[in-house]
Structure 1
């Protein structure tokens, strides 16, 4: 995506609200939240474009089943590691949660309910444009869906459910932390009916 998303102000407002609503755990996460909000304020919708350097926003989701015992991961062929489904914002996206849900559908065929604000904000190396874009600033959500057979895609030909206690060895950095945090959020949600986070 090289143009401004058609979601425009709505998407920009949602991403700002999602960043403010994220619940950082500790000083490192609080710093990331503050830095991302400052970048968004100074860059505006440019931060939503995949051409924005040295960093741009992406959206992903930890996909868990209803009791949090399993997670669906995709094999990232550039990195040669298992990751959660996710990717760049697209022109028709209207929110971070919707963008994450779209990526899950595109990469796994799974649909489900995205719960609340991002469970984690993850800054990690960007494989999309080495030497140009240094960082992906990933809004990481939680999606809950039944365990059904995922549908591989051209983008993600290897898709698999894993028990959260038996994740594969070749995981991308940060995936275990995301799955753990998403499980905590889901457990809290299950204990508190009527909450979205």
Structure 2
């Protein structure tokens, strides 16, 4: 199965966590009708990305202050040709951007969000607006792990759900309830 096939299968079977997420899921499936190019930056109308909201057992969230955008958000980004699944792409991005080894990722998405961005184009193409069709997952941090700021972030920090930083990227808050719903009282479920 290719990354494209996994994206279509994952979004085709996923039970959305909200009406907005279901609409975004349907729009992402429509985007995938363009074929595997919709998984890459070359597809200028938009492309699928993968991200992860990292949580710990105390129900805190690890957010990054995006270096270019200057907003706090979950970690994640573009899919790579070596990613076999959307979940693998989200886990790779979360590990790279948090510096935390041993994250446990739930393979079922918690959210899908579509938002405009200005991505670096493929070589020889003009820069311009596009959209990220971001498939979002939840990852649980192992106890005692220490985060490390990556080149893509200006900062990383843990926050309680009721005390989120500003400026906060659109779509972060909508991930909290479905992410915490995946945590059983004694620890993570399905992970």
What TM-score comes out, normalization by structure 2 length? 0.86
Structure 2 counterpart of 1:4: none
Are 2:51 and 2:75, in contact at CA under 8 Å, matched by a contact in 1? Answer: yes
RMSD over equivalenced CA pairs, Å: 2.3
- Structure 1's 89 and 34: CA in aligned 2 closer, same or farther, altered over 3 A? same
- The counterpart of 1:36, out of the listed 28, 38, 44, is 28
Structure 2 distance, partners of 1:32, 1:38, is 10
Moved more, 20-29 or 139-148: 20-29
1:124 to 96, 99, 115: 115
Which runs of no fewer than 5 residues in structure 1 stay unpaired? 1-8
Structure 2 residue matching 1:172: 3-state secondary structure? coil
Q: Going by fraction, where is helix more abundant, 1 or 2?
A: 1
Distance 2:187 2:77 in 1: 31
For structure 2, which runs of at least 5 residues remain unmatched after alignment?
Answer: 122-126
Residue number in structure 2 paired with 1:108: 98
The match for 1:85 is 75
**Distance in 2 separating the partners of 1:140 and 1:26:** 13
Q: What is the aligned partner in structure 2 of residue 6 from structure 1?
A: none
- Give me the whole-angstrom Cα distance separating, in 1, the residues matched to 2:52 and 2:24: 18
What displacement does 1:193 show? Answer: 8.8
Query: What does residue 46 of structure 1 align with?
Result: 37
Task: Check if 1:21 corresponds to 2:13.
Answer: yes
5 Å-filtered alignment, 1:1-197, equals: 9-40=1-32, 42-67=33-58, 69-111=59-101, 112-129=103-120, 132-146=128-142, 148-186=145-183, 190=184, 196=190
* Aligned CA distance change for structure 1 residues 153 and 11 (closer, same or farther; 3 Å): same
Number of residues of Structure 1 aligned to a counterpart in Structure 2: 184
Measure, in 2, the Cα distance between the counterparts of 1:28 and 1:120.
9
Q: TM-score, normalised by structure 1?
A: 0.83
Q: Deviations over 1:69-123 (max 9, x none)?
A: 1111111122211010000011211111110111111111113111131100000
Instruction: Tell me which protein shows more strand as a share of its residues.
Output: 2
